[in-house]
Structure 1
Amino acid sequence: MPEIQGARLFADPAVKVETRADGVLVLDNPVSLEPYARCVGQYLEHWARVAPDRKFLQERGPTGEWTGVTYKVALGQVRRIAGWLLENHKRPDHPVCVLTDNTVEHGLLMLACMHVGIPYAALSPAYSLVSRDFAKLKNLIQRLDPEFIYVGGVQRFVPALEAIKGLHQANLIVSDADTPPESALRFSDLLTGSDGPAVEEAFLRVGPDTIGKILFTSGSTGYPKGVINTQRMMCASQQAKRQVWPLLLDNPPILLDWLPWNHTFGGNHNFNMVLANGGTLYIDGGKPLPGLFDQTVRNLRDIAPSLYLNVPRAFDMLLPVLRADAELRRHFFSNLQVIFYAAAALPQHLWDGLIELSRQELGHPVPMVTAWGSTETSPLATDCHYQADRSGVIGLPVPGVSIKLIPSGDKLEVRVKGPVITPGYFKQPEETAKVFDDEGYYRIGDAARFADPENPAAGLMFDGRVSEDFKLTTATWVSVGALRVKGIEMMAPAVQDIVVTGHDRDSVGFLIFPNAAVCRKLANLPEDASLEQVASHPAVLDHITRGMKALRDAGTGSSTFADRAMILTSPPAVDRGEITDKGYINQAAVLKARADLVDRLYKSDPDPLIIRL
């Protein structure tokens, strides 16, 4: 097992495999899940006693300094906000809704709701700030019918708030830094609540089945579904994480993190991991987007995280910066125990690059690990709590979780059962009934395969979405997930993401979202060059063509490479569900929204924007 200064980082990998007569495999962790907290609020109460003056939530202040709350201050404010909510929240089953990004105020309000059993629901800020028609925002607000809506930076949300007028009865709460609209409350008004017996009584009533959060799926095939997250789910998930990551017990995590709390990765895995283990969360105002990533780099110059958890797109942007900046590189690795990627498969060249830099800086590789799950699994179902030999290994079931692998064509469909699984979808009983099988396993829709069929303890590998794979007219199956990752690797670093085409056609094609900054450098174009200029430049087309040829040469048949591609000249759209807040491209949504481009890709007429092998 990897160790740092004699301290063990991870538990030994182990799995128990049952093979049924019908070919179904059931995988369980042989280690039992130990008792876990009754509710998330117990973590806050504990650390406010044990480490009252330790920094808990921190953010950049108006003049650039880090500011926030300790565990003691956080508990005091959470209990006062909870007291105010108990007095003023008149419809118990109606959630408090948050539209804004991660902030200290947002975190305190979230914790206050969960402390006394009031449902909390955070919606993607993109539905308010990026969307043009506000369709998803309107739909979710109508379905939630919230009691209160909190917005920080209210001026940015004025068009969205106008769009939902008349669709709810909620009172508006704004940040203390805002000029409040008429009749709106300030966040500080909530701090006038009383931390009296009512708060303690409500806190003690919160149990494992109490709804803590309503988190929404990406809504790729319709409007997002509201996933009920109970206290049991979140606390069982954190206990399982502690058991497979014993480093958390002796090393309170230090995180610099931007991942949105309206998603399970940021809101459950990362936020709750800091809280459960008495760590410190520095809220990163940056994101892996052009113009915003500079803020992340600035923050990394201040904060040396002990764990760095992010999505592949962020690592794609971080790697060249670390290579070019020795001082930043030294600081980044100075306190780092683990690098963790999730939300999408990490291309191998990024994996290799990060390991190379850690060896260069420290003399040994920092473990590169991941986990797997979904909003419905809160999100921990498997964890790769060991150093795999390559990217893509999602690990083994965590304690308390059972994985069922069902033969489906040439793949193994994954289903999941355990205390980390949602009881269902908010006000959507029909959708709930569809996703559980007759043994109570959740049908997650993913496929997996063994990294080493002769050694199950080597873990599972993500094998794509069952619904994304398709057949060519030759009756050959195309494994979309694996081909996408391999294609990105072969065309790196010019490609940001790939959408795989070819359903019921003779060959595979690619719709390519370019890495615009890299392509402009390849083509020696100015920084403000349009995507149209990028997509048609000979240097870019040549780089993509060479990558496609390399993919073909490494392939084993027509399903393992693309013989045509188009570089897209418009970014993925939030309104059409093409991209999530975490930067993950939804294959099905892109194919539906850009069906005309798919048709164009397969026409025989000459087209200067289509690359053909």
Structure 2
Amino acid sequence: MSDPGVATAGHEIEATRFAQPSAVLENLPDGSMLLRHGLAPAPYDRQVGDWLRRWSDAAPDRVFLAAWREDGSIESLTYAETRNLCDRLSQALIGRDLGAERPIAILSEKSLSHALLTLAALQVGIPVAPLSPTYSLRAEARGRLKVCLEAATPGLVLVEDGDAFEEALALVDPETEIVHVQHPPGKRDSTDFASLLSATAGEDVDGAFDRVDPDAPAKILFTSGSTGVPKPVINTHRMMCANATAQAQLYPFLTARPPVVVDWQPWHHCGGSSFNFHAALANGGSYYIDTGKPTTAQAFAPTLRALSTVSPTIHFNVPLGYEMLAFHLERDDRLRQTFFAELDCLIYAAASMPPRLWQHLERLSERERGRRVPMMSSYGTTELAPMHTSLHWHENRPGLIGLPIPGSQVKLVPCHDKLELRARGPNVTPGYFRAPAATQAAFDAEGWYMTGDAVRLCDPDDPARGLVFEGRLSEEFKLSTGTFVQVGAVRTALVSACPLVGDALIVGENRNTLGALLILDLKEGRSRFGDPDLTMEALVAMEEAHAAIKADLARYNAENTVSSRRIAAAMPILDIPSLRKGETTDKGYINQRLAVARRADLVEALYDADNSAVIRP
């Protein structure tokens, strides 16, 4: 295995920044295996509010929260200021009918007010349910908003802008209090957020703080709905505190100096709201709210501004975000210098990292720093708060998800010819909010959470090499030969091999050969063919695009000769899976099985030997 202290000449100091990988593997009589980290778990705090109080005492004048104003200036709050405001908000909340059965729902994007209300509620035992703003702002997604509101039954709803969320608020129970930060909604009464801050914190706050139950619901985080409707996952204080402590154990640099996080990832997902946010809060760091998104050039502009202004010490992103960032890092000297100046680590999650992107980021860091900045990954779900395994040592390629975090375990359970990852530990959810049937279905008879994800040991003879992710078991299928197809692995490899392909639906269940319905990358097409006005319709029909894909597929097949990976036929499509149809999540993840089932006509066309639109490498 690669040694994190001596992997390359430039990494002699990395052993002091990352915990050494160590694993204990136990083989069970039924063929299952138990895997845990060799590092013993460290004690963790009782509740999230402990962190704010600790750092407001230890570093009162240090910037904790910051956000960019519209004029480009930065509004910031120190730890002392944050605690004062949160205590005032807590006092205001205590006087309302809120609690475990009447949580707070937040419909809008992350913001300073979003953060303050969340921390204020958590420290006095009131659960918070941040909901995807997409559900509120896009008419086709409001069915999911209705599902979330009915599941949570909030006693108070926060929106940043009452005008922008007017239509969404029509779905909120008329008896529920609405709080707005600006522009009160025109069609119903609401409370000004500023009025909540006028309360004077008293002994009630300290009393409620002391009574917080570490195992009661703290956050209700809805799954993205990649396998159905969003499910309300209970996240407790114990889950979040155990996770943040394990994070610091594996990444000791977080405690060596106050971390600086510049983050765009949304707070209605566990990664942004817990993993990233708590990396700063639990370790006395600074969290800068980046309002950008890696979707369009315009949406990504705030991220470029933020990372040109503030140097992060740790950066979290998804592969698509890194792809867009790498493009600008290559061309913008100031951005590259600021971004890499203080950087200890890059972390990616949520999707597989294409090898070409991994290598590009390494080249950029070597160019700026003279050495590679470590790139780490993790595996988790909303039910796991969210990290359950972590890659915390150097590898020369993407794909590994590392080892279980200290204090938690992985059980590898045979399923057909795969191993399902099951999870147990203090970071695992007790279940779904008010959904006993869903909770029961999520756990096996021994209390292990069943992720439905397939993994394998990187090296069966050396478990400290960690685990490799192999996709969702529910997406796998068999060819007519009885051969299993690992859809996730095939899709990732195919997209990595074909730059013009942004995503793909892998098909071939009960057929002799494997096929792919290709979702082309319009941005790549416009760049490659030098036409900024190129449409998707034109790209899908373009002979030059077909020729390029055919050549890429031929190279892919030369390296993937087995029937379970070789693509015999591919076809670009215009019928792209959508959120409106429930085929994708707001993170862009495609429900492969549902999307394929709804495109049976395209699958038949793909296997039509006379179809000239089919690419046959």
Q: Quote the offset at 1:605 in angstroms.
A: 4.1
Q: Could you tell which deviates more after superposition, 442-451 or 597-606?
A: 597-606
Cα displacement string for residues 498-550 of structure 1 (whole angstroms, at most 9, x for unaligned residues): 221122222222222222111112222234x3211121122222221111111
Residue type at the aligned position of 1:194: T
Pairing 1:344-363 to 2, within 5 Å after superposition = 344-363=351-370
Q: Contact 1:576/1:589 (CA < 8 Å) preserved in 2?
A: no
Query: Counterpart of 2:106 in structure 1: which amino acid?
Result: V
Please tell me whether residue 134 in structure 1 is matched to residue 142 in structure 2.
Answer: yes
Q: Which runs of 5+ in 1 are unaligned?
A: none
Counterpart for residue 382 of structure 1: 389
1:396 pairs, out of 403, 410, 414, with: 403
Q: Provide the C-alpha distance between the structure 2 equivalents of 1:243 and 1:495, rounded to a whole number of angstroms.
A: 39
Mapped to 2, the partners of 1:336 and 1:91 lie a distance apart of 40
Q: Is the 8 A contact 1:152 1:178 kept in 2?
A: no
* Equivalence for 2:93: 85
CA distance in 2, matches of 1:594, 1:453: 39
Do 2:134 and 2:141's aligned partners in 1 also have CA atoms closer than 8 Å? no
Contact 2:166 2:187 in 1 (8 A): no
For 1:212, the equivalent position in structure 2 comes to 218
Compute the displacement of 1:334 (Å). 1.1
**1:471 equivalent in structure 2:** 478
Q: Which moved more, 1:6-15 or 1:543-552?
A: 6-15
* 2:344 aligned with 1:340: no
Deviation at 1:213, TM superposition (A): 0.2
Cα distance change on mapping 1:459 and 1:7 into 2, 3 Å: closer
What percent of counterpart residues are identical? 39
TM-superposed CA distance for 1:606, in Å, is: 1.8
CA offsets, 1:310-336, max 9 Å, x none?
A: 001111212222122233222211111
Q: Indicate yes or no: 2:459 matched with 1:455.
A: no
Compute the TM-score of the two structures, normalised by the length of structure 2: 0.95
Q: Confirm whether residue 501 of structure 1 aligns to residue 507 of structure 2.
A: yes
- 2:320 maps to 313
Task: Give 1:430's match in structure 2, choosing from 432, 437, 444.
Answer: 437
SS at match of 2:387: coil
Residues 376 and 90 of structure 1: CA distance in aligned 2, closer, same or farther (over 3 Å) = closer
Does structure 1 retain, via aligned residues, the 8 Å contact 2:260–2:286? yes
Please report how far the alpha carbon of residue 235 of structure 1 lies from its aligned counterpart in structure 2 after TM superposition.
Answer: 0.3
Deviations 1:407-450 (A, max 9, x none): 22221111000000000001110010011112211001111111
CA contact (8 A) 2:101 2:153 kept: no
Q: Assess if the C-alpha contact under 8 Å between 2:408 and 2:425 holds in 1.
A: yes
Deviates more, 1:106-115 or 1:550-559: 550-559
Q: Does 1:567 align with 2:575?
A: no
Q: 1:56 aligns with which of 55, 58, 64?
A: 64
Which position in structure 1 is the counterpart of 2:164?
A: 156
> For residue 330 of structure 2, what is the aligned residue in structure 1?
323
Distance 2:593 2:343 in 1: 37
1:286 aligns to what SS in structure 2?
coil
Deviation at 1:4, TM superposition (A): 8.0
Q: Which residue of 2 aligns with 1:246?
A: 252
Whether 1:416 and 2:423 are equivalent positions in the alignment is: yes
Counterparts of residues 84-103 of structure 1 (less than 5 Å)? 84-90=92-98, 92-103=100-111
Describe the shift of the 1:144–1:157 C-alpha distance in structure 2 as closer, same or farther (beyond 3 A). same
Is this contact kept in 1: 2:166–2:186, CA < 8 A? no
**Which letter maps to 2:194?**
S
- In 2 relative to 1, CA 131–344 (structure 1 residues): closer, same or farther, beyond 3 Å? farther
- The gaps in structure 2 that reach 5 residues or longer are 6-10
Which residue does the alignment assign to 2:592? 587
Q: Which residue of 1 aligns with 2:615?
A: 611
Moved more, 411-420 or 219-228: 219-228
* 1: CA distance, partners of 2:411 / 2:295: 37
Query: Residue 259 of structure 1 contacts residue 582 of structure 1 at CA under 8 Å; is this kept in 2?
Result: no
Amino acid at match of 1:544: I
Change (3 A) 1:84 1:544: same
* 1:109 lines up with 2:113 in the alignment: no
**Which residue of 556, 559, 576 maps to 1:554?**
559
Instruction: Give the deviation of 1:92 after TM superposition.
Output: 4.9
User: One-letter code of the match for 1:46?
Assistant: R
What residue number does 1:370 align with?
377
Summarize the Cα distance change of 1:477–1:550 in structure 2 as closer, same or farther, 3 Å threshold. Answer: same
- Once the 2 structures are TM-superposed, how far is the Cα of residue 587 of structure 1 from its aligned partner? 2.2
Match of 1:174 among 159, 180, 200: 180
Contact 1:145-1:169 at 8 Å conserved across structures: no
2:280 maps to which residue? 274
Distance 1:56 1:276, change over 3 A: same
Q: Distance in 1 between matches of 2:336 and 2:472?
A: 36
Residues 1:87 and 1:385: Cα distance change in structure 2 (over 3 Å) = same
Instruction: List per-residue Cα deviations over 1:127-168 (Å, max 9, x = no partner).
Output: 112342511111111221110111112322222223x15x45
What's the secondary structure of 2:516's corresponding residue? Answer: strand
The CA distance in 1 between the partners of 2:99 and 2:35, in whole Å, is 43
| Amino acid paired to 1:339 | L
Q: Which residue identity is paired with 2:585?
A: T
Contact 1:130 1:574 in 2 (8 A): no
Give me the whole-angstrom Cα distance separating, in 2, the residues matched to 1:117 and 1:152.
Answer: 23
8 Å Cα contact 1:36/1:239 also seen in 2: yes
Structure 1 residues 584 and 279, CA gap change in structure 2 (3 angstroms)? farther
TM-score by length of 1: 0.95
Task: Give 1:5 deviation, angstroms.
Answer: 6.5
Distance change (3 Å), C-alpha of 1:241 and 1:475: same
Match for residue 194 of structure 1?
A: 200
Secondary structure of 1:563's aligned partner: strand
* SS across alignment from 2:403: strand
Deviations 1:244-297 (A, max 9, x none): 111111122111111111111111100111110111111111101012112211
Q: Cα–Cα, structure 1 residues 62 and 295, in superposed 2: closer, same or farther, change >3 Å?
A: closer
Q: 1:513 to 1:55 in 2, by over 3 A?
A: farther
C-alpha contact 1:4 1:337 (8 A) present in aligned 2:
no
**Which amino acid in 2 is paired with 1:117?**
G
Whether contact under 8 Å (1:414, 1:443) holds in the other structure is yes
Alpha-carbon distance between aligned partners in 2 of 1:433 and 1:33, rounded to the nearest angstrom: 28
| Structure-2 change in CA distance of 1:344 and 1:16 (3 Å) | same
**1:55 Cα deviation after fit:** 1.1
Aligned to 2:163, the other structure's residue is in SS state helix
Distance 2:90 2:495 in 1: 48
Report the aligned-residue RMSD.
1.8
Q: Which moved more, 1:57-66 or 1:338-347?
A: 57-66
Q: CA deviation at 1:485?
A: 1.3
Q: Return 172-181 or 138-147, whichever deviates more.
A: 172-181
How many aligned positions are there? 608
SS at match of 2:315: strand
Partner amino acid, structure 1, of 2:552: G
What SS class does the counterpart of residue 564 from structure 1 fall into? strand
Structure 1: distance between partners of 2:66 and 2:516: 42
How far is the alpha carbon of 1:182 from its aligned partner? 4.4
Q: Which residue of 1 aligns with 2:493?
A: 486
Task: Tell me how far 1:342 sits from its aligned partner.
Answer: 0.2
**Are the counterparts in 2 of residues 218 and 577 from structure 1 also a CA contact under 8 Å?**
no
CA distance in 2 between counterparts of 1:152 and 1:211 reads 24
Partners of 1:325 and 1:538 in 2: CA distance: 34
**Aligned partners of 1:134 and 1:607: how far apart in 2?**
40
Residue range with higher mean Cα deviation, 534-543 or 570-579: 570-579
Query: What is the rounded CA distance, in whole Å, between the counterparts of 1:478 and 1:90 in structure 2?
Result: 49
Shift of 1:180: 6.6
